[in-house]
Structure 1
Amino acid sequence: MKHYQGYLVDLDGTMYKGEAAVDGASHFIDHLTGLQVPFLFLTNNSSRTQEQIAAKLNNLGVKARSDQVYTSSLATADFIREKKRHARIYVIGEEGLHKALTDRGHVLVEEDADFVVIGIDREISYAKLAQACLEVRKGAGFVSTNSDTAIPTDKGMLPGNGALTSVIAVSTGVEPIFVGKPEPVIMERALKELNLRKEDVLMVGDNYHTDILAGMKAGVDTLMVETGLSSFHEIENHAHQPTYKKLNLHEWVTEYHR
């Protein structure tokens, strides 16, 4: 088994499910920390800040610092900063996205934007979407934190950011740049954060269609665990398979020590 110099670790379904830690999550992170192997928690969640996500992990017994969390909001802010520093941005989203954009030096505006950025917004309104459409039609760049059309909740699968993004895309005829998994943008940014080559990093996750495909698209080896959304049975006929498949992270740590 190859020994990796860094890890990218999914959250929902890999570290926790709802408000409960996934079995083996804390053991796995303690294992990486003990080996002094750097890692980033990598999430499409754009609504929460690094600090909020780290606090949740710690409350669940998974040791985490805020600087070990990299969200689709941060990746979006970094992606735009490479295009234009101090960009004027019309944003639809929640606290995590607003904070990431302003922390990276961008200016949030209500009109005459350089970019329209959309993330999950549970207080979405026609007025917000209408203004976004007007800005895109005037030539603003169109960026979406992720393409998730549905997200798992205690109530069931609810509309995700990809569904909200589609309203603007359909109305304007302009396709957005998606940043989050499975797109390679967030992976490229995360590798820069780790300061490691793609050959030396392992992407760990439970969702074949986001985590695993993100690794594949970026040329990063992948470990799929069966603790969340996807099952090994449902992907057995897929042409492209994860580099490794383990029932849980306990299994990975045990085999790593052999």
Structure 2
Amino acid sequence: MNNIGGLLIDLDGTLYHGRHMIPDADKLIAALRKAEIPFLFVTNNSSRTAASVAAHLREMGIDANPEEVCTSSLAAARYVAEESPGAAVAIIGEEGLLQACTEAGLTIVTEKPQYVVQGIDRSFTYESLARASRWIREGARFVLTNPDVMLPSDDGITPGAGTLAAAIEAASGVPPVVIGKPESHLVAYATSLLGIKPEEAVMVGDNMRTDISAGAHAGCRTVLVLTGLTTRDNLEDYQRLTGVKPDEICADLAELMVLLGV
């Protein structure tokens, strides 16, 4: 694969499963550094700060720095800040989203927001739902970090940010602006951080519905790795469901390194 301006690399299912590194993930990152190929870790996870994501990777033996992490919270905060600098924002989310919005110069409020910015919030309550839907009905813009309906956890599958957003949308009658994968905002933000055009970037991920779809929607080349959600058995179904096809398919990360020539 030639003329790579930078790689956008998914995390869960691509470089690790939960707390366990996928084979050769550490070697891939080391090889990219040696070859001086720019990259970012691009994740829909809105709960963690960039520093905590990088720390999680390092704990597994994958070399990572906070400035190499691009989360849906960072992209959502940038989206609002560019549209309305210093806007009054109500946060429904966790540390990663709160920090991102604060660092983007937004004003965090608990009444009369211009925006309701929502991510995963494991302390979400009926009162949260009532307040958010009221604000949105009164004219606040509804911005969703990522549409993931379900998330894996140590206790099995749990509701994600998309599940909470569905309740808020039902109560307010207003759909959100979606920032994370499969929409293109997160990928466009990541390419801007690398200083490259989307067509110069390569999106690498294991999920046809999020990673590959987002890359395709943003105009990037895409590489599907069969290390997580998508398999040879379900690939055709996912292609039919999403209406997109990856530019390249690699069985594992060792095969990806061969494809990249690193």
How high is the TM-score relative to the length of structure 1?
0.97
User: 2:189 & 2:202 partners in 1: Cα distance?
Assistant: 15
What SS does the corresponding residue of 1:31 show, helix, strand or coil?
helix
In the alignment, is residue 257 of structure 1 matched against residue 243 of structure 2? no
User: 2:147 & 2:12 partners in 1: Cα distance?
Assistant: 16
In the alignment, is residue 116 of structure 1 matched against residue 116 of structure 2? yes
Comparing 146-155 with 29-38, greater Cα deviation is found at 146-155
Aligned to 2:30: 30
User: 1:165 & 1:199 partners in 2: Cα distance?
Assistant: 31
What SS does the corresponding residue of 1:116 show, helix, strand or coil?
strand
Q: After TM superposition, what 4+ stretches of structure 1 lie above 4 angstroms from structure 2? A: none
Aligned to 2:233: 233
Aligned to 1:86: 86
User: 1:103 & 1:27 partners in 2: Cα distance?
Assistant: 33
| Residue identity opposite 2:177 in structure 1 | I
- Structure 2 gap segments, 5+ residues each: none
In the alignment, is residue 167 of structure 1 matched against residue 170 of structure 2? no
| Residue identity opposite 2:231 in structure 1 | S
In the alignment, is residue 205 of structure 1 matched against residue 205 of structure 2? yes
Comparing 241-250 with 230-239, greater Cα deviation is found at 230-239
Aligned to 1:49: 49
Aligned to 2:182: 182
2:97–2:119 CA contact under 8 A, matched in 1: yes
In the alignment, is residue 245 of structure 1 matched against residue 249 of structure 2? yes
User: 1:184 & 1:232 partners in 2: Cα distance?
Assistant: 26
Aligned to 2:68: 68
Q: How far apart are residue 219 of structure 1 and its match?
A: 1.1
User: 1:116 & 1:33 partners in 2: Cα distance?
Assistant: 38
User: 2:260 & 2:48 partners in 1: Cα distance?
Assistant: 32
| Residue identity opposite 1:106 in structure 2 | L
User: 2:73 & 2:260 partners in 1: Cα distance?
Assistant: 33
- Structure 1 gap segments, 5+ residues each: none
What SS does the corresponding residue of 2:234 show, helix, strand or coil?
helix
How high is the TM-score relative to the length of structure 2?
0.95
| Residue identity opposite 1:192 in structure 2 | S
2:225–2:256 CA contact under 8 A, matched in 1: no
User: 1:59 & 1:144 partners in 2: Cα distance?
Assistant: 29
Q: CA RMSD in A?
A: 1.2
User: 1:133 & 1:55 partners in 2: Cα distance?
Assistant: 35
Aligned to 2:6: 6
Q: How many residues of Structure 1 are paired with residues of Structure 2 in the alignment?
A: 258
